[in-house]
Amino acid sequence: MKQKNELGKGLRALLSSINTENPAPVEDVQSTRVNSVNMLPLEQIHPNKLQPRNAFDEERIQELAESIKTYGIIQPLTVRPTGNDQYQIISGERRYRASKLAGLKEVPVYLRQADDNEMLEMALVENIQREDLNPIEVAISYQRLSDECGYTQEELADRVGKKRSTVSNYVRLLKLPVEVQNALKNKTLTMGHARVIAGIDDLVLQLQLFKDIQKKEMSVRDTEKALQLYTRSRARRPVNVQSVQADRQMDLLEKKISMFFGYKASIQRKETGEGQIIIRFKNDQQLNDILDRLEES
């Protein structure tokens, strides 16, 4: 049975040539060998601006710093030389930040030779292997590997040791409404729920289903059943084309009125044709602005 912390095929391939024997001492930094473990001064190491991960839990970094004070760094950082005795992090920024908090002067590193594209690929693949990422962070890493490294989903799946359907399911999350993505980030929505929502083309239904999940505490199975019921009822209901067109015209008219006055406007209309236009304002100054617009016209 595959261990949970076992590296994916892609990361094993990227790190396969690393020699972990005989670390070089700090004073011998100039003669450090690529693809080997070395001790480097922390002041010579710098974060990667292309770091796939942009959110760090400061509390967990502090906890890691306390652990490093007691046990040291168990897993070396991976860096690449950038010239003038400076090095850039490929993977391990959390360990780098925690080491600074712990007051370390030097840290163990894997020294790799990599251009910008290779560095980005290694950082993204390493990032995907982490267990503490939220689904949106994983999805973004997959999308960047596809966009910036030129992989198809099939190639990408093979590269990171995942099924193609897994990669596809994650990438589809990036098309979800912001509210749903934020819930995934905050862990108030599961990946199972998100997969069901992502399978819907209708934005309105996506948001409605999301609200129902949150309000009714629906299970994934309940969510699937709710979607099936909606799909059947919508298939039986004829579409009133004229009504749809009229709604679109009202939306456009509301936008034009709002743009003209500079304040939110809405149109309330009955089936008889009777209705009213409502322009919302918060204070006398905004009311005067609206009156000025009327006088100017």
Same domain, 289 and 209: no
Most confident of 98-102, 197-201, 203-207: 98-102
Phi then psi dihedrals of residue 195, to 5 deg: -60, -40
Same domain, 258 and 220: no
Same domain, 36 and 109: yes
Domain membership of residue 4 (yes or no) is: no
Same domain, 111 and 133: no
**Single-letter code of the amino acid located at 11:** L
Q: In what order do the strands lie in the sheet with 36-41?
A: 19-24, 36-41, 106-111, 77-83, 86-91, 45-46
Same domain, 149 and 71: no
pLDDT at 238 over 70: no
Domain membership of residue 83 (yes or no) is: yes
Domain membership of residue 2 (yes or no) is: no
Average pLDDT over residues 165-180: 89
pLDDT at 31 over 50: no
Q: Name residues whose C-beta falls within 8 Å of residue 40's C-beta, 6 or more positions apart in sequence.
A: 26, 29, 32, 79, 87, 106, 107, 109
Q: Name residues whose C-beta falls within 8 Å of residue 183's C-beta, 6 or more positions apart in sequence.
A: 189, 210, 214
The CATH number of the domain where 31 resides is what? 3.90.1530.30
Same domain, 251 and 227: no
Q: Which tokens hold the place of 218?
A: 């629906």
Q: How far is residue 125's CA from residue 151's CA, in Å, rounded to a whole number?
A: 12
Residue finishing a domain among 64, 84, 115: 115
By C-alpha distance, which of 100, 141, 140, 113 is closest to 10? 141
**pTM for this predicted structure:** 0.48
**Single-letter code of the amino acid located at 34:** V
**Single-letter code of the amino acid located at 148:** E
Reported as a pLDDT band with limits 50, 70 and 90, residue 16 is very low
Q: Is the Cβ–Cβ distance between 136 and 53 less than 8 Å?
A: no
Write down the pLDDT at residue 189: 92
Q: Which of 58, 59, 93, 106 is catalytic?
A: 93
Average pLDDT over residues 230-245: 58
| Residue written as token pair 């890493």 | 141
Same domain, 131 and 226: yes
The CATH number of the domain where 226 resides is what? 1.10.10.2830
Same domain, 137 and 231: yes
The total of structural domains in the chain comes to 3
How much of the chain, in percent, has pLDDT values that exceed 90?
A: 13
Domain membership of residue 24 (yes or no) is: yes
Q: Is the Cβ–Cβ distance between 279 and 264 less than 8 Å?
A: yes
Q: Count CB neighbours of 188 within 10 A.
A: 11
Write down the pLDDT at residue 161: 79
Residue finishing a domain among 85, 115, 145: 115
Residue finishing a domain among 236, 263, 284: 236
Same domain, 134 and 222: yes
Q: Which tokens hold the place of 145?
A: 């590997």
Q: How far is residue 286's CA from residue 172's CA, in Å, rounded to a whole number?
A: 43
Provide the pairing of β-strand 275-279 with 77-83.
Answer: unpaired
pLDDT in tens, 84-116: 889 988 878 888 999 999 999 999 998 887 776
Domain membership of residue 86 (yes or no) is: yes
Domain membership of residue 1 (yes or no) is: no
pLDDT in tens, 118-134: 766 776 776 676 656 78
Domain membership of residue 138 (yes or no) is: yes
Domain membership of residue 111 (yes or no) is: yes
Same domain, 36 and 130: no
Same domain, 252 and 279: yes
Same domain, 60 and 98: yes
- Domain span holding position 213: 125-236
- Residue 106 annotated to the active site: no
pLDDT in tens, 261-287: 888 888 887 767 778 888 888 888 888
Reported as a pLDDT band with limits 50, 70 and 90, residue 24 is very low
pLDDT at 1 over 60: no
